[in-house]
Amino acid sequence: MTSFDHETGLSRVAPPTAEGERAAYEGLFGLFGDGWLVGPAVNGGLVMATGLAGLGAAMDEAGGPAEAIAFSAVFPGASTPGPVLVRPEVMRVGRRISTGAVSLLQDDGDGPVERMRMIATLADLGEHSEPLHRQSDVPDLPPPDQCIVASRAAGEFAAAIAILDRLDLRLDPATAGFGVGQPSGVGELRGWIRFADGREPDVASLPFFLDSFPPVTFDLGAYAWAPTLEFSGHLRARPAPGWLRVRLTTTNVAGGLFEEDCVIWDSTDRVVAQSRQLAGVRMPSGGQG
């Protein structure tokens, strides 16, 4: 089993906790390890992918289409390594389009605490990706072997970003200047990504890849961590095997908040996913960036 599938896997069997606690738990159970961390927190993309795995299982059981085509999430708290409880809610089962919600909880010692809440729209993505009328232009990128390995660009930060070991992430040299203290100031990161263990991308992993790059604000010289407040993604096609091409941009930065837009193309140059998140940032002083 690949690392991603192990990490997002869920079971109906509760972990061995005290009887009293177990009684309060109903849902699907998982376990976050320490291999997918950014600092002390489990990567938000992995949390979303885990939640969608639970909702997809519930929707499949209810007889509805089970691939997310759109999803939106808020994060009342950061997820940490340890057991997780996933509570899917089937809201509406349609023949072509279904709707649901899902919560992901962890026990903080005093009982379950919500880490993520998501709403989602599910369908058969195979039926909703053709014909292609128009899509975002594919960004020009040097081939992966001429790009910069992210763990090298991250320099001293790399040690705190465990998740980099799970990924093969290559940054376009034109947008990797932040690694040597020379951000372009454009507000854009471009690069290639795939799992380090060779697992191919699929619909289940796209929500993760949408949140797998460094914050785009690195390219504006803001090197602090950028906590996601709200995240919204669209999945538009099942990805072909191979490298994913990723572009992150930000346009509106004000009041300590910015939007990060992400678009992902698969190896056939097809747009397979896009997202927008609102996140927090502490801009370097110096006024209008």
Report d(CA 272, CA 206) in Å as an integer: 8
Q: Is residue 288 a contact point for a second copy (CB under 8 A)?
A: yes
What would the x/- binding string for a second copy be over residues 217 to 256, using CB under 8 A?
Answer: ---x--------xx-x-x-xx------------xxxxxxx
Q: Is residue 127 a contact point for a second copy (CB under 8 A)?
A: yes
- Please state whether beta strands 271-280 and 28-32 pair in parallel, antiparallel, or not at all (unpaired): unpaired
Identify residues 67-106 at the interface with a second copy (CB under 8 A): 69-77, 91-92, 97, 99, 101
Q: Is residue 131 a contact point for a second copy (CB under 8 A)?
A: yes
Report the residue number, 71 or 243, with the smaller CB distance to a second copy.
71
Residue 233 CA to its chain's centroid (Å): 9
What residues contact 147, with CB distance under 8 A and at least 6 apart?
Answer: 141, 170, 171, 172, 173, 176, 191, 192
Contact assessment for residue 212 and residue 257, using Cβ atoms and an 8 Å cutoff = no
Q: Is residue 175 a contact point for a second copy (CB under 8 A)?
A: no
Closest CA to 28 of 48, 51, 61, 46: 51
Minimal distance in Å, beta carbon 43 to a second copy?
19
Number of residues counted as binding a second copy (CB under 8 A): 55
Q: Is residue 135 a contact point for a second copy (CB under 8 A)?
A: yes
Report d(CA 160, CA 55) in Å as an integer: 31
Residues at the contact surface with a second copy, assessed by CB under 8 A: 69-77, 91-92, 97, 99, 101, 114, 117-121, 127-136, 187, 220, 229-230, 232, 234, 236-237, 250-257, 259, 271, 274, 276, 278, 283, 287-289
